[in-house]
Amino acid sequence: MRRLGSREDLERLREEALSKSPKRFISLGMGTASRAHGAEAVYEALKEELAKRHLGIPVKATGDHGLCGYAPVMVVFPEGILYHSVKPADVPDVLEAIDKGEVLEKLLYTDPITSETYIYEKDIPFYKKQMRLVMGLMESVEPLSIDDYLCNGGFSALAKAMFDMGPQAIIQEVITSGLRGRGGAGFMTGWKWEDAASRSSPVKYIVCNGDEGDPGAYMDRCLLEGLPFEVLEGMIIGAFAVGAHQGFVYVRKEYPLATQNVQAAIEVLRELGLLGEDILGSGFDFDIQVVRGGGAFVCGESSALIASIEGRVGEPRSKHVHATESGLWGRPTVLNNVETLANVPHIVNKGGEWFASIGTKESKGTKVFSLAGDIYNTGLVEVPMGITLREVVYDIGGGIQGGKAFKAVQTGGPSGGCLPESQLDLPVDFDTLTEAGSMMGSGGMIVMDEHTCMVDVARYFVKFLTEESCGKCVPCREGLKHMLEILDRITQGEGTMEDLELLEDLGYVISNASLCGLGKSAPNPVLSTLRYFREEYVEHVRDKKCRAGVCKALVKYEIVPENCNGCHVCFKECPEGAISGEPKGVHVIDQQKCIKCGICRDVCKFDAVRVV
Amino acid sequence: MVKLPDTPEYNKVKEFVSQFRGDKGSLIKVLHFSQGVFGYLPPEVIKYIAQELGVTPSYVYGVLSFYNFFRTEPIGKYEIRVCLGTACHVKGGKDILDTLCHRLGVRKGGTTKDGMFTVNTVRCLGACGLAPVMMVGEEVYGRLSPQRAWNIVKGYYQEEAGSEVEGSG
């Protein structure tokens, strides 16, 4: 690859790439989620079958397309025909159909509720209400193909920023755009940059925070895996704006593919001279290193992350001095989330005012959410800020699976909150969600049906946070431990009514007296469930009942004699030998031996095992 | 003075550490590398790293015990990591963990007597759309039930024994 010495070189390379760019191609989602569903085997089958048929159709192995619950997903361009749940054995039929200009009915998406079948991706309700900006190129760009990225306008924002705008104008544009940090805190990105740019230190750093620790959120992984160039372009623009010459991408260690792709993308950019000395002949030097995390949730917090890059224990510190003044190794440091940086090239290209026209008064642009839980369409969705929760859950998510009732939607990761049906018409933006007792967080959105116990959910999050509390400050370390003890008691059926008040008091102290964001928001899951689902707590305490049938101390498994036909499967599978009965006779569970593992209910094909 | 034996593994660590002598900021990088070589961090390696980077062994231990990726004991041939992220929790990830622990006769974090499996949990694999999920080695398995998870683990035993996979309820 040749080194690009100027803006003209870049444009020449783009023209070359465009002249080679195919109109017809197959885009196959190959991110982590797709791989877990066998996308690699489909890819191999495609390659083999294409060669056998002498079809010159290129296959792009891209990041995950978003519709993760239906992986592997492939889209045939230029028409945009979407096939889902593709197996290697389907590949010959798919290619046959493409070759003949037909559509392969059996792999088309059918709406689980309306039973309507859709041919084109853009018509599917899951995609229709989305506004794909940072995820927009996911399907047409192979993660490490610079040609693909250039064909789709890649690095035009960098050239514009460097040669037409300059640092001041870039920062002004980002401030105008109203872009707020996508990692959770929602701080204005432009202000952060302005502050760092104003510091006179000769050494400054920019850090991309890819320590996506919130369980249930994986948009950053998807961006790093699928569109590493977009994130890196945003980062180079940021570095140029604030005057940083060294950058770090901090990637969570649970994300091997993301680490690998970012590392490889950095090497491509170095070879092209888009990283390194004198980028595009502008005289600006900048390079990026990848740092792998060690598995600690608190390291997503900015000061803890900085400590971790310095090779220390990831403990946060008090933030009366901002990182933009004294961060990594005591130097001014800008720390931005992956998704935040991925927005930057779009803002530079289309202008801050255009960006600010999307969204609500205080929250601009789009946000990627990872939609999971008890809904039909799980996956990554990018929506304009201000869309209602109901639209996301029902129109995009397709509603609750299996005809069950909606109970809650949990947003904001472990420190977020659970919102009930009555709050579903809230517009999704930073401030509205916080007012409702939850938060935007990094964008996890987990939908829960009536079979979810809200006390158990609160306990789950508090347990998570107790384990992940770094232990530096007392309110978080000790307070959470006590909250967990109380919640344990309640789920064991040993709680008292006073416990509920104690939980609220503890929550108040922890959120007001903790040092960092982890502690300050840690009581949210408990406080929000107490606010909206208090009756469930009361039932656990007073009636010793768990209506969802989740808290094991309060439920038992029973066989319904009318439904049991004596197939004997549960007898064979019970690990405790707790089930007795002869083949073809009614079976019985010995409650003394039963460990409530649920295998019997799992294997019973006749709905004869019930939780009471 | 801590000296490491002259074997290919130890020599790899020595060579890598020598680039960072006296630079304690590289500690996490060095720990990642060393664990990559041995699968865990043996005591003599911890002492050696401390000496070379110019910190105390207790400092190294403080850092490695803070991050849950690092371990000081060897693991089984396959590491099973059951995801307990929120989506997996709601969809019954805990039941998967309980079943596997129970059937393999280990506690969470423990290794089976035959050294085949270590059962661990993971915060979130980011495959929430396929919940509940687990990883065995580097393979991700989604849409599990306790039964399906156990069948997958049994499959590894059968593969190991070289026998055909039996059908099972």
Residues of B in contact with A414 (CB under 8 A): 86
B111 in helix, strand or coil? strand
Task: Tell the CATH superfamily of the A7-128 domain.
Answer: Glutaredoxin (3.40.30.10)
Q: Cβ B145–A602 below 8 Å, yes or no? A: yes
C-alpha closest to that of A513 among A468, A460, A484, A477:
A477
| Structure-token pair, residue A198 | 């104003």
- Does residue A244 surpass a pLDDT of 50? yes
Q: In chain A, which residue's Cα lies nearest the Cα of B27?
A: A311
Averaged pLDDT of chain A: 93
| Structure-token pair, residue A179 | 């872009």
Q: For residues A192-203, give the mean pLDDT.
A: 96
Confidence label for A294 from pLDDT (cuts 50, 70 and 90): confident
Taking CA atoms, A289 is separated from A205, A232, A333, in Å, by 11, 11, 15
Sequence-distant (≥ 6) Cβ neighbours of residue A439 within 8 angstroms: A184, A411, A412, A415, A416, A417, A430, A433, A521, A524
- Tell whether omega for the bond before A22 is within 30 degrees of 0, i.e. cis: no
**Dist CA A380 CA A219 (whole Å):** 7
Q: Which of A254, A293, A297 comes nearest B125 by C-beta? A: A254
| Structure-token pair, residue A359 | 């969204």
**Dist CA A265 CA A251 (whole Å):** 14
A438 in helix, strand or coil? coil
Per the CB < 8 A criterion, the answer to whether A165 and A173 are in contact is yes
Note the pLDDT of residue A293.
87
Which of A34-38, A118-122, A190-194, A513-517 has the lowest average pLDDT?
Answer: A34-38
C-alpha closest to that of A302 among A275, A322, A329:
A322
Q: Which residue type does A94 have? A: V
DSSP A507: H
Per the CB < 8 A criterion, the answer to whether A262 and A251 are in contact is yes
Query: What residue spans define the domains of chain B?
Result: 8-66, 78-161
ipTM, 2 decimals? 0.81
Does domain A556-611 correspond to CATH entry 3.30.750.80? no
- Does residue A283 surpass a pLDDT of 60? yes
Residue A10 CB-half CA count within 13 A? 22
pLDDT tens for each residue of A361-404: 999 999 999 998 899 999 999 999 999 999 999 999 999 988 88
The CATH number, out of the four listed (3.30.1360.120, 3.40.718.10, 1.10.10.1590, 3.40.1450.10), of the domain defined by the range B8-66: 1.10.10.1590
Please calculate the CA angle A507-A508-A511 and round it to the nearest 5 degrees.
80
Q: For residues A60-77, give the mean pLDDT.
A: 93
Q: Cβ A573–B147 below 8 Å, yes or no? A: yes
Taking CA atoms, A221 is separated from A214, A227, A339, B126, in Å, by 12, 10, 10, 8
The pair phi, psi for residue A219, each rounded to 5°, is -70, -35
A411 in helix, strand or coil? strand
C-alpha distance from A453 to closest chain B C-alpha (Å): 9
Query: What residue spans define the domains of chain A?
Result: 7-128, 181-342, 366-449, 454-543, 556-611
Note the pLDDT of residue A415.
85
Taking CA atoms, B47 is separated from A14, A168, A290, A308, B56, in Å, by 53, 50, 27, 21, 8
Q: Cβ B67–A68 below 8 Å, yes or no? A: no
Q: Which of B98, B126, B146 comes nearest A602 by C-beta? A: B146
CATH number given to A454-543: 1.20.1440.230
Q: Which of A36, A256, A293 comes nearest B130 by C-beta? A: A36
Q: In chain B, which residue's Cα lies nearest the Cα of A313?
A: B63
Decide the pairing of beta strands A366-373 and A444-449: parallel
Q: For residues A589-610, give the mean pLDDT.
A: 86
Task: Tell the CATH superfamily of the B78-161 domain.
Answer: Glutaredoxin (3.40.30.10)
Confidence label for A82 from pLDDT (cuts 50, 70 and 90): very high
**Dist CA B160 CA B143 (whole Å):** 24
Note the pLDDT of residue B137.
86
Per the CB < 8 A criterion, the answer to whether A139 and A122 are in contact is no
C-alpha closest to that of A464 among A487, A498, A430, A494:
A487
Per the CB < 8 A criterion, the answer to whether B90 and B133 are in contact is no
**Dist CA A192 CA A323 (whole Å):** 9
pLDDT by position in tens, chain B (length 169): 889 999 999 999 999 999 999 998 899 999 999 999 998 999 999 999 999 999 999 999 999 999 988 999 888 999 999 998 888 888 889 889 999 999 999 999 899 999 999 999 988 877 777 889 999 987 888 889 888 999 999 999 988 887 544 433 3
**Dist CA A189 CA A5 (whole Å):** 30
Tokens 């039932």 belong to residue = A539
Mutate to test the interface with B, among A461, A567, A602, A604 (most CBs of B within 10 A): A602
Residues 403-432 of A with CB under 8 A from B: 410, 413-414
- Does residue A37 surpass a pLDDT of 90? no
**Dist CA A504 CA A522 (whole Å):** 12
Residues of A in contact with B142 (CB under 8 A): 36-37
Note the pLDDT of residue A1.
66
Note the pLDDT of residue A442.
87
The CATH number, out of the four listed (3.40.50.11540, 2.40.10.10, 3.40.47.10, 3.40.30.10), of the domain defined by the range A181-342: 3.40.50.11540
Q: Cβ A214–B124 below 8 Å, yes or no? A: yes
Taking CA atoms, A282 is separated from A278, A346, B153, in Å, by 6, 21, 57
Burial class (CB in 10 A: 0-12, 13-18, 19+), A181: buried
pLDDT tens for each residue of A467-520: 999 999 999 999 999 999 999 999 999 999 999 999 999 999 999 999 998 999
CATH number given to A366-449: 3.10.20.600
